[in-house]
Amino acid sequence: MDQELEQEFVTLLEDNQNILHKICRLYTSDLNSHQDLFQEMVIQLWGSFPKYRGEAKFSTWAYRVSLNTAISMYRGSRKKITTVSWDNSLANIQYEEYNDQKDQQLNWLYNAVKQLNDIDKALVYLYLEEKDYKEISETLGISVINARVKMNRIKTKLKEMIAKKVC
30-45 per-position pLDDT tens digit: 889 899 999 999 999 9
By the 8 A CB rule, do 13 and 93 touch?
yes
Q: Running DSSP on this structure, what letter comes out for residue 51?
A: G
By the 8 A CB rule, do 136 and 123 touch?
yes
Q: What is the pLDDT of residue 12?
A: 92
**38 burial via Cβ count (<10 Å: 0-12, 13-18, 19+):** buried
Tell me what the mean pLDDT of segment 55-65 comes to. 89
Q: What angle do CA 1, 18, 124 make, to 5 degrees?
A: 115
Reported as a pLDDT band with limits 50, 70 and 90, residue 4 is confident
Reported as a pLDDT band with limits 50, 70 and 90, residue 166 is low
Angstrom distance (rounded) from CA 1 to CA 44: 15
Average pLDDT taken over every residue of the chain:
82
Angstrom distance (rounded) from CA 61 to CA 90: 19
Please tell me whether the overall predicted TM-score, pTM, comes out greater than 0.85 for this model: no
Nearest to 162 by CA among 111, 100, 103, 101: 111
Angstrom distance (rounded) from CA 129 to CA 112: 17
By the 8 A CB rule, do 27 and 70 touch?
yes
What does the pLDDT look like over 88-105, one tens digit per residue?
555 566 666 665 555 554
Angstrom distance (rounded) from CA 10 to CA 27: 24
